[in-house]
Chain A
C-alpha cells in the first residue's frame, strides 16, 4: 500500500522530516517473503486445531489427539522457526537499505478516513524477534513435552502455547499500531490463560486475574496512544506515523510517548505496573520461561524501540522511560535478593533485566541496538535458567523453596552445568553473552547521565549478589531436602533444550562482533552519534567487572559461608522485610488504587441507592401525589369545566395584555 498517500492529510513542511528513519517497506519483494504470513499462520493453525477443533472430536480420535496433540503444537513452532530462519537469511542477502519487506494480506477494516490493513512488516528488528520467539519458543515447546507429561490437559496447554506464539508474532510483524494492539491483547489473553492454567489452585486463578487487570491499565495507555495517533496523523501505520511524526506539536508527541510508555509498563512489568509479574509465576514453568522471561514481557521494550520515530522527538517521554527503567532495574534486583521461591527470585531478576533494556531504549539511537541485544541474550539465559529451575522443581517434587534445596550439583549435573552458564551470563562474567550486552548498556548510560549510569552499575552489583545467592542455595551449601525427596536428573527431552540454551547463553555475545547488531538495526533505529563516556571504555568494563565481583563475594560470605536455615528467619532487617513484601508493591496498589476504588464504588452504590433511586422514587411519588390532587379538578361536572374554560380564557387574554401592554 502506498504510505505516502497519507501525506495529503498533513503535508510535510519543508525540511521537516523526523530524525528517525521512515518506515517504507517494499511490498513487492516476492520470493520467500511471500510466505511471511505463514510464520504466524502455522502456530495459529496449531492453536485452532488444538483448541477449536479437538474439543469437538469424539471417541478414539479424541483420545489420540489428546495423547499426541503436543507433537502438533511443537511441530508448528519448529516449522515456524525454520521459516523464520530462511527469512532471516534471505533478508541478510539483501542490501541494508532494502531490508524492509512488507506484505499486505487484506484490509482489516475501513471506516470513514480510518483504514487499517492486515499488513505485515519484516525488517531487521522483526527478524531478530522472530528468531527469538520461534527459536526459544520451539525449545520451550520441546521442554514442555517432558515437563507437562503427566498433566491430563497437555493438549490444551500446547494449544495455548501455540496461541501465544501466534499472537506474539502478530505483535512483532504487524505494520501498524492497530495490528500490534491485536497481538498485544492476544499475548495478554494467552498469558492470562497460561498463568491460570492450573485453575484448581486459587492462587493461580487470582494471579491470572491480577495480571489481566494490571495489564488493562497499560492497555488503556496503548489504546489511547493509538487513538491519539489516528486523530493527529490520520493513520496508525508505522510508515505513515514515522513520516508525519515531525509535523505534530510537542504536547501531542509528549502525550504519545508517555501513553506508549504506560502501555509498555503494563506489559513489561515496569514500576508502577510491576506487581503482577511475581504472582504470574503460578503458571507452569515453561510458561514462565517463554512468556514471563524471554518474550512477552519484552514487548514493552519492542514497543519503545519500534516507536523510536516518536521518542526521538520527545525528550520528556525519553526521560520518563529512563526514570521508570532505572527505578525498575533496582526494584527488581532488590526483590531478587530476598525471595526464597526460586521462580520469584528469577522473576525479580527478569523485572530488573527488562529495566536495563528499557534504560537502553530510553537513551535513544545509541541505546536501541543494545536494548535489543540485551533482550536477545536475556531471552537465552533467562529462559535457560527458568527451564533449569523447572528441571530442579521437577526433581524436588515441585518444591520451589530454595531453603529446601542445596547441594544439587551432584544430583542434577546437566541442570547444574547449564544453569551455571546462564548464571555466568546474567551476572556479566567476562566473555559470556550478558557481559557484552550489559556492559554496553551501562557504558551508554554513563555517557548519557552519570547518576543513571551509577545506579545501573549498582544494579549490576546487586544482580551478581542475588544470582550468586540463588546459585549457592540451590546447587551448593548443605542438603536441606525434604524427607521423601530424591532429586534426579530430568529426561533428555528437557535437558537438550537446556543445553542448547546454555550454549546460546555463552555464545550470544557474538552478535556484537564488529558491531554487527548495531549495523544490522541501523535501518530501523537510525544512526547514532556516540557520546564519549567519561572514562575509556576498557576502564568502565573493568569497574563493572569489579562491582560484579564484589556482589559475588558478598553473596559468598553472607550465604555460602554460613548455614542456610530451612525456615526463613523472621528477625531480619527492615530492608529484607520490605523486599520480601515485594517492596510493598501490593500495599501501595492497595492504598492508592484498590481501597479508593472500593470506596468510590461503595460511595457510588450508596449514592445510587439513596440519591438517584431516592430522587427517582421520590420524584415518582411526588408526581403521583400531584396527579391525585389534580385529578380532583376533573370532577365530571360540565359546569366546573365551563368555569375552568372561562378562567382559562380570562388568563390567556390577561396574560397577553399584561405581557404586551404592561
Chain B
C-alpha cells in the first residue's frame, strides 16, 4: 500500500461540478430555513442561477483546458486522478446542464394544473386520506424537488467524468437515488407514481449490485480501480481473462440497466408512465446522456483494448433493444409508455454507435469517430425527447394529463400548433430527414458500418422502418381519427414550458438542417484522456 498522498484539487476545472453540488446543498438549507411562501421562488431562482453559472463554467473550462500529457487529447485529471475533465466530459456536462435548465423550467410550471406544480402536495400523506385532501386544499407543493434534481444533475455530471470504478459507482448512485424519489412525487395518480418509484428503486438497487460486483472482479483482475491501470492490465494480458470477462459483463449490466437496454428495460415503461411527466422528461433525456457518457468512458478507456470481447455482446444487445423497443411500442395505448419503448429502441440505436469503435489508426482523416457520432446522437435525442414529454404534459382532461392514446384523437383539430409540434418531435425521433434525428441516425449507422458491423446496421435500418410506423401511428391518431367524447383539451402553458418546447423544437430543426456546428463541437471535444 502506498502512502496516502493528499490529492490536489483543481478548483477551476471542477467549478461546474462544485457549483451544482453547492447549489444542491444550499437548496436543502433553503428548504429548512425559508418560509413556505417564498421557497418556490427561491428554489427556482437558485437552481436556475446555479445551472447557468455551471454552464458558463463549462464554457470557460472548455476554452481553457490544456492538452493532456499524452498529447492526443485535451483535459486534466482532477482529484487525484478520479475525475477526468476532458472534451467528452465537458460536452456531456454542457448537454446535461442545458437539459437540467429545461427540466427546472418544466418542474416550475404551475399554469397547467390550477396554480400548483405537478408534484404531490404532501408526499408523506397516504393517498386517499384526509391528510392528502388537506394538503391539496392548502395548495401545498413540495419544493424539495429542486435540490433533489440538483443532486441528480451532480450525479449525472460525475458519472460520465468518473475515471475509476468507485467514483463511477458513486456517480451512479448519486444520480439514481434522487430520481427514485422524484418518480414517486406525482400530484395525480399517486399510487401509480409510488409504485413506479418503488419498482425503479428495487430494480435499480439490484442492478447497482451487479455493477459493484463487476467492479470487484475487475479489481481482482487488474489490481486497480483506475481506468488507466485497467487498460494497462488488459493490454499486457495479466491475470485470468474469465475474471475480466465476467467483470465486464456485470459492469455492463449496471450501465445497460440505466440506459434501458433489452433485456434490462422492464422498468422503463412502468416508471415513465407513473412518474410525473416533468421528471420523466428530465430523466429520459438526462440519464441517457449521462449513462452513455459513462459507458463510452468505461468501454473506450478502460476496456478499449479488449473491444473484441465486448463488441459482439453489444451487437446482440443493440439489435434486441432496437427490435423489442420498436415492436413493443406498436401496441402501446398510452403515450408515455409508447415513448418509453421508443426510448428503449433509441438506446439500441445509440449502442450501434457505441459498438462502432475502431482503433485510432483505422480511421480515415475526415471520418467521424464513434464517440463523436454518439455524442451528436445524444444531443439530438435529448432535445427531441424533452420536448416531446413537455408536449405530453399539455394535453389534459378533468383528471390531469391524459396519456391514453385514444384520447389524443382529434388533437390536430383541437390544437393545430401543439399537434404539429408533437408530430415534428415524433418525426425527429423516427429519423425523418430535415430533423436532427435523421442526421443522428446517419452518424451512428455510418460509424458502425465503417467498423464493419454491417449486420447491426441492416437490423438497425429494419428497426427504423418499424419505428417510423409507430410514430406515424400517433400522428395518424392526432390528425385522422375521430375524437372520443369531447376530444382532448390542451392546457395553455406558461412561458416556462412554452420556452422548453420551442427551444427543443428549434434545436431539433436546426440540428437537422445544419448539423455542422454541433458535429464540429463534438469533434473539437476530441478524445477521452486515458
Contacts and interface: CB of A to CB of B under 8 A. Distances in A.
Considering residues A624, A626, A652, A660, which has the most beta carbons from chain B within 10 angstroms of its beta carbon?
A: A652
B495 interface: no
A620 interface: yes
A641 B267 contact: yes
A25 B317 CA distance: 69
Nearest to B314: A652
A652 B309 CA distance: 12
B341 to A, nearest CB: 9
Contacts of A624: 330-331
B223 interface: no
Given A626-B327, A652-B256, 19 more contacts: A623-B330, A623-B469, A624-B330, A634-B269, A638-B198, A638-B202, A641-B199, A641-B203, A641-B267, A645-B266, A648-B253, A648-B262, A653-B245, A656-B248, A656-B249, A656-B309, A657-B246, A660-B241, A660-B308
A429 to B, nearest CB: 70
A648 B206 CA distance: 13
A105 interface: no
User: Which range contains the number of B residues in contact with the other chain?
Assistant: 35 or more
A648 B263 contact: yes
B257 interface: yes
A656 B252 CA distance: 11
Given A634-B266, A660-B309, A627 B206 contact: no
B505 interface: no
B249 A644 contact: no
Contacts of A627: 327-331
Contacts of A641: 199, 203, 266-267
Contacts of A640: 266
A251 interface: no
A645 B257 contact: yes
A150 to B, nearest CB: 55
Given A630-B327, A638-B202, A649-B250, A661 B264 contact: no
A644 B324 CA distance: 14
A180 B205 CA distance: 77
A599 to B, nearest CB: 31
B328 A630 contact: yes
Contacts of B246: 653, 656-657
A366 to B, nearest CB: 58
Dominant SS among interface residues on chain B: helix
Contacts of B263: 644-645, 647-648, 651
Contacts of B317: 652
A642 interface: yes
Contacts of A542: none
A627 B206 CA distance: 27
Contacts of B310: 656
A627 to B, nearest CB: 4
12 contacts: A627-B328, A638-B199, A640-B266, A641-B267, A645-B206, A646-B206, A649-B250, A649-B253, A652-B256, A660-B241, A660-B308, A661-B242
Interface in B175-220: 198-199, 202-203, 206-207, 210
A631 B331 CA distance: 8
B514 interface: no
A620 B250 contact: no
B202 A642 contact: yes
A661 B249 CA distance: 14
Nearest to B210: A649
A573 B36 CA distance: 112
A642 B206 contact: yes
B312 interface: yes
Nearest to A620: B469
A533 to B, nearest CB: 67
A623 to B, nearest CB: 5
A535 interface: no
Given A627-B328, A660-B245, A652 B203 contact: no
Contacts of B29: none
A655 B466 contact: no
User: Which range contains the number of A residues in contact with the other chain?
Assistant: 20 to 34
A624 B248 CA distance: 35
Nearest to A648: B263
B313 interface: yes
A463 B198 CA distance: 100
A659 interface: yes
Interface in B130-171: none
Contacts of A636: 270
B316 interface: yes
Contacts of A657: 242, 245-246, 249
A111 interface: no
A628 interface: yes
Nearest to B246: A653
Considering residues B266, B270, B329, B331, which has the most beta carbons from chain A within 10 angstroms of its beta carbon?
A: B266
B331 A656 contact: no
B245 A661 contact: yes
B229 to A, nearest CB: 21
A54 B324 CA distance: 65
Nearest to B213: A649
Contacts of A655: 249, 312-313, 316
Contacts of B331: 624, 627-628, 631
A355 B202 CA distance: 90
A529 B263 CA distance: 85
B340 to A, nearest CB: 10
Q: What are the 6 A-B residue pairs with the smallest beta carbon separation, nearest first? A: A648-B263, A653-B249, A641-B266, A627-B331, A649-B253, A660-B309
Nearest to B207: A645
A656 B203 CA distance: 23
Contacts of A630: 324, 327-328
A648 B245 contact: no
Nearest to A639: B202
Contacts of A644: 263, 266
Contacts of A626: 327
A648 B264 contact: yes
Considering residues A634, A645, A651, A657, which has the most beta carbons from chain B within 10 angstroms of its beta carbon?
A: A645
A627 B317 CA distance: 18
B404 to A, nearest CB: 16
Contacts of B241: 660-661
A652 B253 contact: yes
A638 B198 CA distance: 9
Nearest to B473: A620
Nearest to B331: A627
A122 to B, nearest CB: 48
Given A648-B264, A653-B250, A623 B309 contact: no
A400 B243 CA distance: 100
A499 B98 CA distance: 89
A278 B253 CA distance: 79
Contact of A652 (B252, B270, B327, B330): B252
